[in-house]
Amino acid sequence: MTTATSSRPRIKPLLVALAALLACGGLTACQDDTDIKASPATASATATIPAGLESFYNQKVSWYACDKKGMGEAKSGKDTGFTCAKVKVPLDYDNPGGETIEIAVKKRAAGGESVGSLFINPGGPGGSGIELVESAGSYFSKNLTSSYDVVGFDPRGVGASTAVDCLTDAELDAERAGANDPETPSATATQERAQKMGEACASKTSPAGLLDHIDTISAAKDLDILRAVDGQQTLTYLGFSYGTYLGATYAELFPANTGRMVLDGAVDPSLSAEELALGQAKGFEASLRAYVQNCQSSKLGCPLSGDVDSGVSQVREFLESTKTAPLPTSDSKRPLTYDLAVYGVLGSMYQTQLWPSLTLALSQAMGKVGKPDGSALLAIADAVSSRQSDGTYSNNGAEALMAVNCLDYPVQGDNASWEENAKAVNEASPTFGSQLLYPDAYCQGWGHTSSRKREKITASGAAPILVVGTTGDPATPYAWSQALADQLESGQLLTWKGNGHTAYGRSNDCVKKAVDTYLLNGTMPDKGLTC
């Protein structure tokens, strides 16, 4: 299963479930807040409404008090602190008078006097902003949540919005477990598999044209409508991972409407799908080495002996063994297969807060604390895939991921070049390469493709944009953040020397203060700041 993702996992439920050996978990709520005075961003003029879209920008949205979880209406008279709405947008912006779809929006009221709305996106593509805003108190500083109404939204094709639908929960379980993996991976086999998946999605997704219109440019246009109906003259935005690409695309399309924007864990918009896969292969392999080094130097009873090279080899040998001998788990119907084991380890590379849990899971799976058992590693793989304990998935991120990517990344090359690229990916990451192969071949088979070019984004005329890069980020390598900051006319890079995916909310007070200060009063950090 192709899993070249760049989303920001919600790790708090996992840390609780596994009783991780960390008192804080690195979440923002555990950090001290230095009080920063908030001031609203100023707009020079009323934002212009694009021709033909007046009815969407001027629509009257019915906000209602909603539950803390999901989009359900709160019980009469109950103040949950959340309001929800559905906003209509065109399915096809080239035909605004045609079919419409809905974007789900959820707002968390500011804890104090509000200076406006902060729109957020967790990444993906396919990540749910609805789920992220529900956890805003854990992921964002008290300074931000006191001063801003935090607005989460599910982009088109995702979650509670008009969404892609491909597989039942049981079918997705089988897909993740590798039940549909070809005996010998190849570009041809990937195309055949993707064609079947595309046909399944087309048969279940409504409206029929949705799969041709869930690209990021359309999502950015939706975001401008959300800004307008929320009464904001400019967009204040914090995007993580793929959310940086959505934010940068917005700034490119609507520079005059762009307010304070922070892009954390950036995607380089000029790269092809194959270049992204190779970059992630290198990033995840480097992150594994950092984990092994950390494991071997900790006092948690690391199951990996010897030096780092030896430890990495032991991880690979263990993973390889699950191909022929899947491990039993607490669910007799769900053994730990190779694909699940690989993703349990790979998923742990996103957040260093997961490393102690991974150490315990590997100790269990490798038989260092009794008979080999894959339960803990399966729990990690499930958590980073949004699978809940009852067997349902909290969102459709896995289905939306490739649907969006195949519209954003034009197919380049042919079978011969894809096989060469696959060889390079496997060489760069012998451990995780199997999860990152053949993105262009997949889209070729998927059938809903794009002819748009991958180009640099300059966002000429936009307000200052703060790009945050983590030196040891496996999913969005630091070089991508450097590239985006250089491309953006008003971009500035903030560096965190650390490991894991993204920085804000899981790094240190230096990063938090720099981001908060910009979002709250518009003051950018010193150029070249490294935390």
Place of tokens 């929960």: 169
Q: What angle do CA 127, 128, 133 make, to 5 degrees?
A: 130
* 473 assigned to active site: yes
Q: In what order do the strands lie in the sheet with 149-154?
A: 64-65, 82-90, 100-108, 149-154, 117-121, 235-240, 258-264, 465-472, 491-499
Place of tokens 């690979």: 316
Q: How far apart are CA 76 and CA 491, in angstroms?
A: 46
Q: How many helices (H) and strands (E) does the chain have?
A: 19, 9
| Residues 396 and 162 sit within 8 Å (Cβ to Cβ) | no
Strand, coil or helix: 465: strand
Query: Where are the strands (E) in 219-352, listed by range?
Result: 235-240, 258-264
Residue in 385, 501, 507, 516 annotated catalytic: 501
Residue in 117, 128, 241, 287 annotated catalytic: 241
Strand, coil or helix: 494: strand
Torsion-angle region of 528 (φ positive above 0: left; ψ -120 to 50: alpha; else: beta): left
| Residues 116 and 236 sit within 8 Å (Cβ to Cβ) | yes
Query: How do the residues of the chain divide into helix, strand and coil, expressed in percent and rounded to 5?
Result: 40, 15, 45
Nearest to 90 by CA among 62, 118, 55, 127: 55
Residue in 473, 481, 507, 516 annotated catalytic: 473
Residues with a catalytic annotation lie at 241, 473, 501
